[in-house]
Structure 1
Amino acid sequence: MQAKTNGNISFWYADIGGLPARRPSLPGDREADVCIIGAGYTGLWTAYYMKKADPRLNIVVVEREFAGFGGSGRNGGWLSGGFSWSREKYLKTSSRGAVVDMQSAMAGTVDEVIRVAAAEGIDADILRTDNITVATNAAQLERAREEYQFYLDWQMPRERIDMLSAEEASQRIRIADIKGAFVIRDMARVQPAKLVRGLADVVERLGVTIYEGTEVTAFEKGRVTTASGTVRAPVVIRATEGFTAGLPGHERTWLPLNSAQIVTEPVPDDLWKDIGWEGHELLGNAAHAYCYAQRTREGRITMGGRGVPYRYGSATDVNGQTQQATIDQLHRILTRLLPQTKKLRIEHAWCGVLGVPRDWCTTAGFDPATGIGWAGGYVGLGVSSSNLAGRTLADLVLKRDTELVSLPWVNRTVRKWEPEPLRWLGVHSMYQLYRIADEREEAGLPTTSKLAVLADRITGH
């Protein structure tokens, strides 16, 4: 099924009338109190909370393309407050209570983003809803039940989670061959581009300067060098997430993992009656090569998942263009779960990258000796996690002794990824094993395939 794959980076920009006009680039050398590299969610939230805490701060944001060019303007629109990283790995340098506190802080980002959007007049199609992870075979159902129990063991409030029977899940969304579902409440759907563009406008009104079309060629203590000038600032924040590998010296810091999405034409009312989905739930599945979907404001369906999982040498896509094979694969996932959609036209397809640390666990930190801070490696949870990152970085830089600065993700040291070709071989092996594992489970294997366990072991997932 053919679909547009470029021109607007993502459907979310087509939805708001196309790509934005560019802000001016850095006109030459200048000084600032804080220089932030990257005008996505992380950089903009950091600028927002710093400026709110101290309006006197002279904050400059430098961005290679335009605000919201990367994952912030291309993601699946899940404001989840989720915590899918390994709690056990955080435990190695922390305590169980601290990990629970981090889990709670992440969950609280949903309310905080909604609060700020309302207070600052950001219209991002935000709708509170549930996240429903559906199981369509016995092995997936086993994992869904294990996840439910795992959350209970980690002190997730019982009123926030639930297991649904096949009948109960079908009353929500009429998924083919559904066996049951795991539900997490108190999440939200957003329109990603509206959120990031609205946030950029807000920080500008607060007095933050955003320079677009300004590529960073190097940064060090007190200095950010770009193709059009140098910014001298005692505080430098690296907020480049999936594009971090493109910075000199950071080729192996975080792996840029690719994800892709398709979006349907508007779904007719009679078809919605067949599908259900009246609660606009965030929809995922319990497969190893998982998917993520939402029902948009104007009644379309977006479906995301892994396309080409990783490009050799940590390369990234070209302006969101994705391959026809990826579009076809995502269409098969959509119609496998919702065969009612087979006749719907796919109107747009795109891809982007997300940052993956070597241990698959997000970090945020600040080194007072160098004045350099960072946050990211969200592994796909950036819509909500970036908000907590912005608040945490603001507290770290401003030397505020808050509960946030002692959370387990702060100032964690993670080893680098292996050099090529080991990175490419490892990631592609992982997804091939996931694919085969999903096929075996779909064919009737009643428990989780050992191949999926091997895949996780290969990459430390």
Structure 2
Amino acid sequence: MYRGFWYAQALDLEGALAPTLQGTTSADVCIIGGGFLGLWSAIRLKKEQPSLDVVLIEKDRCGSGASGRNGGLANNWWAKYLSLMSICGEQEARRICEAADSAVDEIGEFCRAHNVDAQYRKDGWLWTASNPRQHNSWRVLTEKLDNYNANPFREVTPEEARAKSGSPRTLSGIFDPNAATVQPAMLARGLRRVAIELGVRIYEKTPLTRLDRRTAPVVHTAHGSVRAKKVVIAMNAWGAQFPELKRMIVVMSSDMVATAPMKTRLDATGFNDGVCVTDSRTVLNYWRNTPDGRIVFGKPLGQFAFASRIGNLYDRPCPAAEGVTAELRSFYPTLADVPVVSSWTGPLDRAMKGLPNFGFLGGNPNIIYGIGFSGNGVATTVFASRIIKSLVLEANDEWSRCGLVDQKVKLLPPEPFRFVGARMVRNALVRKETLEDHDRDAGAFTTFLTALAPAGYVPNTKK
């Protein structure tokens, strides 16, 4: 399985596999999925009730899926404020954003407390315009946040934006100091270690084969089964195998490249701390650097999974590496001679509003799910695990009643319309945003298609 250099680095530190489940066992809680949501939930449950018997199964190695392959941008949800307001109102949107905000520091505190070297650097998020059409694209959001005295963003001068990003293509921007970058696979492996130390029983190379939806659900695997009082589906895009979840998301790729180390040259550009950078596209450019001086750059240009069947579609070098590399070079032309040494891809569970949904699968109160993080789960899974914990423990609290639980989500079309439509909309967005780079307008049909796109960082109040 190909995962790029992120996961290779992590396995160098903690490569021993947990055992594969053999035979039948029972547990209070069985968590399906060894990524961020599953691991944070397991840890939070064990810290809340140490006597709880928690089993976690993972089809490969913990963190080998989307969690260990993303860009490592640990952002909060203030950029999603308008979408949250449309779901659950201003007061609950603020509470959720404050919880997501606190998750950024919680990651740092966790790493310090448990000696997890995840290369955590809290140096903020620079949200930029990379062409004139993107200037002030955030204004509808920040004005609303100002109205509620909740705006964490600071406008920066064009000179400061260019200095922070080290890129001449950066034209303007705003800055949120409460964001961080991490090496995501190292964080996932650290979470795995701590979960095991707390007594979570982890089984790797243990894929789910069937879920019996009984009062006491049974999780079947290739060589065994787990009878549990509660089951948690924390499978990211792989959760789309369940019919109730399939139409909540479209499974698409996050495509990434990484350069060779070039610390001296990168430092000279000014891009020399742990700031994470995005521009204002819907087909987002997002990037960061690493402590040893690489640029890691991502853009969702790759593949959609037909009928959400993932298989090995994303377990290979990035098929869109050439396009992602070209975009990287356009931001750092003076570094164009530095080779790209790794590319990889991974699935993400894209929801219409870019926000996850939580609830009970098919109405079964003993099967809990969380899905739809839309590529923004590094920090937000930390606070989302509070929701999972409360639903598992049947708590009647602010998290079990959270506005993200049992949303009336807008379902995506069935196949083949979802697959064909997703490709058409994404390709239209690329056309439109490429034309805007040259200060040109897209045609009417392209503009019509782009209006159908899910909400991104740039607020879309019509979604």
Q: Provide the secondary structure at the position in 2 that maps to 1:406.
A: coil
Contact 1:68 1:196 in 2 (8 A): yes
Amino acid at match of 1:266: P
Alignment of 1:240 onto 2:232: no
1:457 to partner: Cα distance: 3.5
> In the alignment, which of 420, 424, 445 is matched to residue 429 of structure 1?
424
Q: How many equivalent residue pairs?
A: 449
The residue number in structure 2 matching 1:387 is: 382
Scaled by the length of structure 2, the TM-score of the pair is 0.90
The residue number in structure 1 matching 2:286 is: 292
> In the alignment, which of 199, 202, 225 is matched to residue 207 of structure 1?
199
Within a 5 Å distance, the mapping from 1:186-335 to structure 2 comes to 186-219=178-211, 220-221=213-214, 222-247=217-242, 250-269=245-264, 271-316=265-310, 317-318=312-313, 320-324=315-319, 326-335=320-329
The residue number in structure 2 matching 1:407 is: 402
The residue number in structure 2 matching 1:41 is: 36
Contact 1:217 1:248 in 2 (8 A): no
Structure 1, unmatched stretches of 5+, are 1-5
Contact 2:428 2:450 in 1 (8 A): no
The residue number in structure 2 matching 1:117 is: 111
CA distance in 2: counterparts of 1:173 and 1:91, whole angstroms? 31
1:247 to partner: Cα distance: 4.7
> In the alignment, which of 21, 25, 31 is matched to residue 26 of structure 1?
21
Taking a change above 3 Å as real, the CA distance of residues 146 and 309 of structure 1, as seen in their structure-2 partners, is farther
Q: Quote the RMSD (CA, aligned, Å).
A: 2.4
Contact 1:139 1:448 in 2 (8 A): no
1:355 to partner: Cα distance: 0.9
CA distance in 2: counterparts of 1:451 and 1:146, whole angstroms? 25
Taking a change above 3 Å as real, the CA distance of residues 268 and 51 of structure 1, as seen in their structure-2 partners, is closer
Contact 1:359 1:460 in 2 (8 A): yes
Taking a change above 3 Å as real, the CA distance of residues 243 and 139 of structure 1, as seen in their structure-2 partners, is same
Within a 5 Å distance, the mapping from 1:44-59 to structure 2 comes to 44-59=39-54
1:169 to partner: Cα distance: 1.4
1:10 to partner: Cα distance: 2.4
1:307 to partner: Cα distance: 2.4
The residue number in structure 1 matching 2:82 is: 87
CA distance in 1: counterparts of 2:294 and 2:72, whole angstroms? 13
CA distance in 2: counterparts of 1:37 and 1:142, whole angstroms? 42
Contact 1:426 1:458 in 2 (8 A): no
Alignment of 1:378 onto 2:370: no
CA distance in 2: counterparts of 1:224 and 1:147, whole angstroms? 43
> In the alignment, which of 57, 63, 69 is matched to residue 62 of structure 1?
57
The residue number in structure 1 matching 2:460 is: none
CA distance in 2: counterparts of 1:171 and 1:86, whole angstroms? 28
Contact 1:244 1:254 in 2 (8 A): no
CA distance in 1: counterparts of 2:446 and 2:398, whole angstroms? 37
Taking a change above 3 Å as real, the CA distance of residues 93 and 180 of structure 1, as seen in their structure-2 partners, is closer
Taking a change above 3 Å as real, the CA distance of residues 251 and 242 of structure 1, as seen in their structure-2 partners, is same
CA distance in 1: counterparts of 2:377 and 2:307, whole angstroms? 23
Amino acid at match of 1:203: A
Amino acid at match of 1:178: T
Deviation digits for residues 220-259 of structure 1, max 9, x if unmatched? Answer: 2322122212211110100001111235765434321211
CA distance in 2: counterparts of 1:93 and 1:335, whole angstroms? 39
Q: Provide the secondary structure at the position in 1 that maps to 2:451.
A: helix
Contact 1:33 1:235 in 2 (8 A): yes
1:449 to partner: Cα distance: 8.6
CA distance in 2: counterparts of 1:108 and 1:77, whole angstroms? 17
1:133 to partner: Cα distance: 1.9
CA distance in 1: counterparts of 2:148 and 2:430, whole angstroms? 29
> In the alignment, which of 440, 443, 458 is matched to residue 438 of structure 2?
443
1:401 to partner: Cα distance: 3.7
Contact 1:133 1:284 in 2 (8 A): yes
CA distance in 1: counterparts of 2:157 and 2:370, whole angstroms? 39
Contact 1:244 1:253 in 2 (8 A): no
The residue number in structure 2 matching 1:162 is: 154
The residue number in structure 2 matching 1:3 is: none
CA distance in 2: counterparts of 1:455 and 1:129, whole angstroms? 36
Taking a change above 3 Å as real, the CA distance of residues 59 and 41 of structure 1, as seen in their structure-2 partners, is same
CA distance in 1: counterparts of 2:4 and 2:341, whole angstroms? 11
CA distance in 2: counterparts of 1:247 and 1:352, whole angstroms? 20
Deviation digits for residues 310-365 of structure 1, max 9, x if unmatched? Answer: 132323344631345x1111111111111122001111100001112344431123
Taking a change above 3 Å as real, the CA distance of residues 180 and 191 of structure 1, as seen in their structure-2 partners, is same
More divergent stretch after superposition (41-50 vs 425-434): 425-434
Taking a change above 3 Å as real, the CA distance of residues 358 and 443 of structure 1, as seen in their structure-2 partners, is closer
CA distance in 2: counterparts of 1:203 and 1:430, whole angstroms? 41
Amino acid at match of 2:259: T
The residue number in structure 2 matching 1:342 is: 336
Q: Provide the secondary structure at the position in 1 that maps to 2:16.
A: coil
Contact 2:10 2:189 in 1 (8 A): no
Alignment of 1:77 onto 2:61: no
Contact 2:429 2:450 in 1 (8 A): no
Amino acid at match of 1:136: S
Contact 2:240 2:308 in 1 (8 A): yes
Q: Percent of aligned positions with the same letter in both sequences?
A: 26
CA distance in 1: counterparts of 2:358 and 2:122, whole angstroms? 27
1:272 to partner: Cα distance: 2.1
Contact 1:261 1:349 in 2 (8 A): yes
Contact 2:71 2:296 in 1 (8 A): yes
Q: Provide the secondary structure at the position in 2 that maps to 1:108.
A: helix
CA distance in 2: counterparts of 1:17 and 1:110, whole angstroms? 24
Q: Provide the secondary structure at the position in 2 that maps to 1:95.
A: helix
Taking a change above 3 Å as real, the CA distance of residues 43 and 302 of structure 1, as seen in their structure-2 partners, is same
Amino acid at match of 1:164: V
Amino acid at match of 1:218: R
The residue number in structure 2 matching 1:11 is: 5
Contact 1:136 1:176 in 2 (8 A): no
CA distance in 2: counterparts of 1:451 and 1:278, whole angstroms? 42
CA distance in 1: counterparts of 2:243 and 2:282, whole angstroms? 33
1:378 to partner: Cα distance: 0.5
1:134 to partner: Cα distance: 2.1
Q: Provide the secondary structure at the position in 2 that maps to 1:297.
A: coil
